[in-house]
Amino acid sequence: METLTKTTWKIDPTHSEVQFKVKHLVISTVTGSFKSFEGGLSTNGDNFDGANATFSIDTSSVDTNVADRDAHLKSPEFFDSENYPNMIFKGVLKQVSGDDYKLVGDLTIKETTKPVELAVEHGGIMKDGYGQTKAGFEITGSINRKEFGLTWSMVTEAGGVVVGDNVKLLLNVQLTKA
């Protein structure tokens, strides 16, 4: 039986983005992103099925294009970035069929760890102009922020909720083979 070599794939932050969308006043959507993150995959050779995934997001790097809102998100009412500087994901990439995968694992925000499952589309593998092997993935899904202790809420005079509970996640990730 041949032994497969463990391969490490690291996130290329200059060619990756982490975005989220959440309803505001139920009638519109606010889009934000995290500017600082790291992580990658550990695979058997170039086979992504069964790859171990690790991902860490710097909560103080949140950016919604509104400084006051970003400051509120970093405060103890949301991420509490001073005490909880990182959100952590650890899981496994599982092939569903062809280029479709699912990412199954545990997401930790503040003191709460919960299982999550995200849809993953593998965009392919390519060598860049510097001879580095790159792999692309688009990851989508949603979480309920309140399940992770992000429970701040406010109701408007008319009875509308200011921030929705459901947070959509969209990650475009390019990995570099180590």
- The boundaries of the domain holding residue 108 are 6-177
For the cut 60, the answer to whether the pLDDT of residue 143 exceeds it is yes
Indicate the pLDDT class of residue 167, thresholds 50, 70 and 90: confident
pLDDT digits (tens, 9 = 90+) for 2-39: 556 899 999 999 999 999 888 766 666 788 899 999 99
For the cut 60, the answer to whether the pLDDT of residue 174 exceeds it is yes
Indicate the pLDDT class of residue 49, thresholds 50, 70 and 90: very high
Contact partners, residue 97, CB within 8 Å, separation at least 6: none
DSSP string, 68-120: HHHHHHHSTTTT-TTT--EEEEEEEEEEEETTEEEEEEEEEETTEEEEEEEEE
Tokens of 77: 């009412």
| pLDDT for the residue numbered 159 | 52
pLDDT digits (tens, 9 = 90+) for 85-136: 999 999 999 999 999 999 999 999 999 999 999 999 999 999 999 999 999 9
CA distance 58 to 41: 18
DSSP tag of 3: P
**The total number of structural domains that make up the chain:** 1
CA distances from 82 to 57, 59, 60, 71, 153 (A): 14, 9, 8, 12, 21
Residue 50 within any structural domain of the chain: yes
CB 84 within 8 A of CB 59: yes
Domain with 57 in it: what CATH number? 2.40.128.110
Question: What average pLDDT does the segment 80-84 reach?
Answer: 95
